Amino acid sequence: MAKKQFKAESKRLLDLMIHSIYTNREIFLRELISNASDALDKLHYLSLTDEAVRAKCGELHIFISPDKEARTLTITDNGIGMTAEELEHNLGTIAKSGSLQFKESIDTSDEEAVSNIIGQFGVGFYSAFMVSDEVTVRTRSTITDEANCWTSTGADGYTIKPCDKETYGTDIILKLKADTEQDSYSEYLEPYRLQHLIKTYSDYIRYPIRMELEKTRTVGEGEDQKTETYKEVETVNSMVPIWKRAKNEVSEEECRAYYKQKFFDSADPLYTIRISTEGVVSYQAMLFVPARAPYDFYTKDFKKGLQLYSSGVLIMEQCADLLPDHFRFVRGIVDSQDLSLNISREMLQQDHQLKAIAQNIEKKILSELKKGLANDRETYEKFFDAFGLQLKYGVVSDYGMHKDKLKDLLLFYSASQQKRITLEEYITAMPEDQKYIYYACGETVQKIGALPQAELVKDKGYDMLCLTDEVDEFVMQMLGEISGKTARSIKDDNAELQSDDTKEKIETAAEENKELLAFLKETLGERVHDVKLSQKLKSHPVCLSATGGITFEMEKYFAAMPGNEMKPKAQRVLELNAEHPVFEALKRAYASDRERAKTLGEILYDQALLIADLPLDDPAHYTELVCSLMQ
């Protein structure tokens, strides 16, 4: 019979599996057991409504049998089985979902890349080729009764032919690879090793996983007493779902292993949250905060939700109503005996129990994150790197409805402490005379530090939060008052950074130079809303500030948004430093040479734009002006 070829992408993945140096090969067993368990689930589900199927069902179980002589390991289930067509479809193509982002070539010696693929795309069945030279699938469909045999030695394709099989379900027969100096495959023939793997990875599987194990017993009496070995079939797994087991019975390690397998992640979760409550609502939950955001997390393709069980039976794969948007990164399982098994999706949304559970879950996540923040900053920062942005979106969404609960979870970069701190930490460190929480927005911390206005803050001994995310400015505005303090941008007119003395001095100077300022305003025309003497400059000659509610960061934010409609713009105010020698030069020019004063005014405006990290209206004109002064 002619060999059939795997689909192109599958072939590449297969190559990868076979040749990878992936050290975590042992996971093949849990993958195959998980498939077997799914096949049992499907049969169980069908049997609920189909009597003919029910008649064919025995007691559902999985059987693992190593054969040292034949060097094979067989995983048997009496589940739903597959027809020839299903064999072709299911085992001839990998990742039918199309989620396989296989465009870039992957370096197979890069363990991280390989394990990522194995994790993210659940290449399940194919992991068998990491330990086998040949894989045979003998399967009999419970639906059509036909039995077929699929065989493959890997990348060169596979064959499918009819066969005889008495029992329903599937046998996966692995012909294990020969041992090499570095690698032992024989270990997968050792019952105790297999038992250990099952316990580690598949303990919670709902069906018994059985093995024939060697036991010893003492027989005879007195001098005739001796030990003999015998074989007995035993159920290896405890069958209790991991989230139903008592907290102190499940190690953190087990939870992590479970997460990685269940949610196809190769990285440990940052936090594991376990809930078990009884009372108004009774439920158990096992929740995880992943270490990194999925590639589509910040897109509309990402779907939030928790798996929902009713007394151990899955009723909904992804229940979105259980998670508020600001915690949409959380993954996990919720199991409640209070929910009806047959509840429809529409009914679920109305369900009071479900609402109560969702509220409770939100509270719990919040308190765990706060605990994480207080107890282990390093881990929390990793969390914040991955999902901090989501929390900020949470603050500004729904008209600020969630800001109070989320504000304590935020971190911002502190200019004086040179690390990220919370708002509360900022406030605690404020000197007594400091009235406001100062912040500045910009592209990078460096650029913010170089802002002319930053000097005054530093001179006063105040700290400043450097905000580098686009949404940050909105977050600050939304937060309003924080523990009795309001936040002010150092670029704000009312930043109040000068002493009363200096303030007065500047006001007097402004009065004296009224005409000059009006002249500059006229010169710059529509480009500026106003020209004035600054209260926030020290060594820099100029800066630009915004008035009227729209800040420069907002302007940039709107400009970057798609769409051609009129984008809101910040109203620009050119601020001059009255103490700076340049201002003296300007004054002299104004008195003696109006053209020169015009040129200086225009150059200063463009310089202010540059410092504010805003594009020049006409860069060529700016250069011309500078050159004209040089000549």
Q: In 3D, which of 291, 297, 361 has the Cα closest to residue 323?
A: 361
Shortest Cβ distance from residue 39 to ligand ADP (Å)?
3
Q: Collapse the DSSP code of 290 into the 3-class scheme (helix H, G, I; strand E, B; otherwise coil) and give the result.
A: coil
Closest residue by Cα to residue 601 from 524, 502, 493, 504: 524
List all residues 6 or more positions away from 506 whose beta carbon is below 8 Å from its beta carbon.
Answer: 498, 533, 534, 535, 578
Instruction: Select 80 or 437, whichever has its Cβ closest to ligand ADP.
Output: 80
Shortest separation between residue 412's beta carbon and ligand ADP, angstroms? 41
Closer to ligand ADP by Cβ: residue 143 or 395: 143
**Cα distance between residue 291 and residue 283, in whole Å:** 26
> Nearer to ligand ADP by C-beta: 39 or 130?
39
Distance CA 48, CA 45 (A): 5
Phi, psi of 531 (to 5 degrees): -130, 130
Minimum Å distance from CB 132 to ligand ADP?
Answer: 14
CB of 46 to ligand ADP, least distance (A): 12
Which residue's CB is nearer to ligand ADP, number 122 or number 290? Answer: 122
* Nearest of 569, 582, 506, 573 to residue 544 by alpha carbon: 573
Nearer to ligand ADP, 86 or 212 (CB): 86
In the structure, how many helices (H) and strands (E) does the chain have?
21, 22
For ligand ADP, give the closer residue by CB, 118 or 281: 118
Closest-by-Cβ residue to ligand ADP is: 124
Where do contacts with ligand ADP occur on this chain (CB under 6 A)?
35-36, 39, 77, 79-80, 82, 90-91, 122, 124-126, 170
Q: Residue 450 CB: number of other CB atoms within 10 A? A: 14
SS (H, E, C) 444-473: CHHHHHCCCCHHHHHHCCCCCEEECCCCHH
For ligand ADP, the closer of residues 117 and 464 by Cβ is: 117
Nearest Cα to Cα of residue 305 among 314, 316, 315 = 316
Q: Which residues partner with 529 through β-bridges?
A: none
Residue pair 339/315 in contact by the 8 Å Cβ criterion: yes
Nearer to ligand ADP, 90 or 116 (CB): 90
Q: Identify which of residues 80 and 482 has a Cβ nearer to ligand ADP in the complex.
A: 80
User: Cβ contacts of residue 160 below 8 Å, gap of 6+?
Assistant: 4, 84, 87, 88, 148, 149, 150
- Nearest CB to ligand ADP, comparing residues 24 and 90: 90
Q: Token pair of 288, please?
A: 């995880």
Nearer to ligand ADP, 66 or 81 (CB): 81
Is the dihedral angle over the CA atoms 451, 452, 454, 459 positive or is it negative? positive
Q: Which two tokens stand for residue 539?
A: 């060594």
- 533 contacts 604 by C-beta, under 8 angstroms: no
Compute the least distance from the CB of residue 168 to ligand ADP, in Å. Answer: 10
CA distance 231 to 236: 14
Task: Work out how close the CB of 330 gets to ligand ADP at its nearest, in angstroms, rounded to a whole number.
Answer: 23
- Taking the complex as a whole, the smallest distance from the CB of residue 40 to ligand ADP amounts, in Å, to 8
**What minimum distance in Å lies between the beta carbon of 77 and ligand ADP?**
5
Assess contact for 14 and 6: CB atoms under 8 A: yes
CB of 88 to ligand ADP, least distance (A): 11
Residue 425 CB, nearest distance to ligand ADP (Å)?
45
Query: Which CB sits closer to ligand ADP, 28 or 590?
Result: 28
CB 332 within 8 A of CB 311: no
Residue 245 identity (one-letter amino acid): R
Least distance in angstroms from the C-beta of 126 to ligand ADP: 6
The CB-of-334 to ligand ADP minimum distance in angstroms stands at 23
